[in-house]
Amino acid sequence: MVRRMVVALGGNAILTDDPTAKAQEKALETTAEQLIPLIRNNDVEMVVTHGNGPQVGNLLLQQLAADSPKNPAMPIDTAVAMTQGQIGFWMGQAFTRALIKNNMERVPVISVVTRTVVDKDDQAFEKPTKPIGPFYDEKGWAEMKAQYPDWVFVEDSGRGYRRVVPSPKPTRIVEAEAIKPLISSSVLVTVSGGGGIPVIETKDGYEGVEAVIDKDFSAAKVAELVEADNLLILTAVDNVFVNFNKPNQKKLETVTMAEMKAYVEEGQFAAGSMLPKVEAAMEFVARTGRPATITSLENLEDFLNNDSGTKIIP
């Protein structure tokens, strides 16, 4: 029986210490190669989503540096669209090369520029939380704050300071119905890049808003709407842990919703890293009754063969 799977790539799938296009393309070639076991598996229909926080942040900085009446900087929603196309192109190139390298049939690889509907009254617009752009040390943060006093910055998991913008929850994917037949036709589809272009619904259609949607929550919504059998969130670790980095650290394998909810209420997961992944996975399980798994790219074959990773079930 064919399983339909939505795969949410973490930032480590694209981001490197070198922010050049060439380096990021190279990182995605490695990622595509690691995804070959899923692509090769004839029993899997795969949809890929990805983040874009560093890319959209860097693009906004580049635009601000050249901002002028004749060359105005674009708003965040347009920057999200631009980086969707940018990363979608890189991913198409990477997957095509990986298919050729592995002597596999060259299936169509398509990136769909995707709009994600959010609620205009979402409280996230009052409290920005989504990190974008590079990390800054104390000196760099002070300089950026002085230059852009309206920007909001937070300290990010001990790694430095980053700009944060509103991150409303996705309510609908505009292109979901158009994506379904692509998946059924064995097309390798990349959708909802960077969480999708944030839009609100109006009587005249849709209007872009200044925000960046969390890619894991968007992946959960995509998985729900395309009727995926499994949501697979890929990150830097093979499993989710409780009591992380403590003597009583415990690896989570198969976990029920009730157990995971208790861990969340205990504050077991860091808000800037694992918590949104866990919450997005739980949302998918709650809405569909189907499992979600959090694991790493490196653990992908073991996930396919032994169902390893942290699997959340109803």
The residues annotated as belonging to the active site are 11-12, 130, 215, 277
Closest C-alpha to 285, from 235, 214, 226, 229: 229
SS (H, E, C) 156-168: CCCCCEEEEECCC
DSSP 234: E
Bridge partners (DSSP) of residue 61 are: none
Instruction: Specify burial of residue 133 (Cβ count, 10 A radius: 0-12, 13-18, 19+).
Output: buried
SS (H, E, C) 78-119: HHHHHHHHHHHHHHHHHHHHHHHHCCCCCCCEEECCCEEEEC
CA 213/CA 53 separation, integer angstroms: 9
Amino acid at 109: V
Main-chain dihedrals φ then ψ at residue 237, nearest 5 degrees = -125, 155
Residue 49 near residue 7, CB atoms below 8 Å? yes
For residue 198, give the 3-state DSSP assignment: strand
Residue 155 near residue 117, CB atoms below 8 Å? no
* Cα Rg of the chain, angstroms: 19
